[in-house]
Amino acid sequence: MPAILLSTLNARYFHASLGLRYLYANLGELQADAVLREFIITQRPLDVAEAVLAEQPRLIGFGVYIWNVAETTQVVALLKRVRPDLRIVLGGPEVSHEWEKQPIVAMADYLITGQADLAFAQLCRRLLNDDPPPERIIAAEPPPLDQFVLPYRFYSDEDIAHRLIYVEASRGCPFRCEFCLSALDQTAWPFPLEPLLAELTTLYERGVRHFKFVDRTFNLNAKVGARILDFFLERLDERLFLHFELIPDHLPEALEDRITQFPAGTLQFEIGVQTFNPAVQELISRKQDNRKTEENLCWLRQNTHAHLHADLIAGLPGEDLASFAAGFNRLAALDPHEIQVGILKRLRGAPIARHTAAFDLRYNPQPPYNLLCSALLDFATMRRLERFARYWDLIGNSGRFRHTRPLLLGDDPFGRFMTLSDWLFAATGQTHQFALERLFDLLYRGLIEALGVTEPVARTALAADYRKSGAKSGPAFLHPNPPADHCSKASRTVAPTRQARHRG
């Protein structure tokens, strides 16, 4: 039986915890007496506790995140009730800040705040040698990255076959955007490049073709970014897919030259625009050249095959509905493949908390701590924005409605789609679990009734999109005299489905 069990609850099965693999890789001589066990948040806490206890470990390390803190709290409570002697160590961003009143921290034996890659092994040695440290809370300083054992060999063949493979070329972020925990970093630290490329080579040779880089600022260092892109250009494969997060207003020529060489379906760039409002940017300490951001997005859209996923945040302090609408329209005019509308969250430790009183920011007390209302956006408006975001993801981002999308946007994309969003909710009372045929029929009605599109134009566009979807059965709008609201019980429900490689 292992002495050490490393565990976390992932949001979905196809996610694989990079953090746990760092901890396991750096256990040194303790690695032989440790196991890694991952679960998902949809599993019952009792079942997770049973599986963990069956291993009979002496101590457990849990990775705690915003998406799993509620479920992990239940698991820890069960473990402590059944085996009070079991030592439980917590770590992760959700418990690294403002931990004093968190129930899960009160139940655990130890908490390591910050980057625990090396500190966890040090604590384990002391606990297993019956030399427990007197302090329960251990603040880990950012360790030198050249002292790490890289974790990539600990992706199993099962992981490679069925899960996302996360990698990173750097940690940290030099920027101070107050909605993000990375605002607490002093800078970005690169991993030594040659060892990283050696690990990427091994992963590639083992069959990995989908690499998701978790760096906050992949394009910050043009020289390193160019080397990594060259690495993959030398290994182009029809199954290769790369995900990078880019700084929107920084695109050096060395990277442009390489990006243009990647074929369609190979690159996805996540580009955090967040807001175009200069006053809001200044308020939240975000430095962004809006003109350069627009130029870079236009250049990427017109000169490359990269899939562009751009982010906006609704609810930032100082931004009212009109300002957010203007930002959405400005971004929509640049035509990224996806616009991800996120609702502001108050992450524990993030400096955005300093604006709470001035803007009367009121957040959900439960994860994910999303903004409920503020002085500029009342509760009803925030609910409308949440539905807008969901429907936009379902329709605007899905890739299903290529012919219909222009009819939804017109010359005021935000205003028109908000009108459609309000109509959809009034007509259905739901934002999830739409059968594919019913979604097409609802759009047919919504285009005509809410947006004033003529029936022949709406039918032609939707028919072209439906044929392109490859679905076999036919929605009602394709038949003469379609009923007001049709839903086939045999129809499959739909979520925002892009290409599978664009997930995550």
Residue 172 CB-density burial (10 A; 0-12 exposed, 13-18 middle, 19+ buried): buried
The bridge status of strand 362-363 relative to strand 267-274 is unpaired
Question: Among candidates 436, 476, 484, which has minimal Cα distance to 459?
Answer: 476
Cα Rg of the chain (Å, integer): 24
Q: CA neighbours within 13 Å on the CB side: how many for 238?
A: 0
The bridge status of strand 493-494 relative to strand 434-435 is antiparallel
Residue 482 near residue 445 (C-beta atoms within 8 A): no
Instruction: Give the number of other Cβ atoms within 10 Å of residue 107's Cβ.
Output: 15
Show the low-confidence residues of the chain (pLDDT under 70): 480-504
pLDDT at 494: 56
- Which CA distances in Å does 119 have to 112, 152, 170, 245, 364? 8, 19, 19, 28, 33
Q: Which domains does the chain have, with CATH numbers?
A: 4-145 (3.40.50.280), 164-345 (3.80.30.20), 400-504 (no CATH)
pLDDT at 486: 45
d(CA 18, CA 178) in angstroms, rounded, equals: 25
3-state secondary structure 267-335: EEEEEEEECCCHHHHHHCCCCCCHHHHHHHHHHHHHHCCCEEEEEEEECCCCCCHHHHHHHHHHHHHCC
Give me the residues paired with residue 87 across strands. Answer: 59
pLDDT at 238: 93
pLDDT at 501: 40
pLDDT at 470: 85
pTM: 0.92
Going through 168-240 in order, the beta strands assigned E by DSSP cover 170-172, 188-190, 210-213
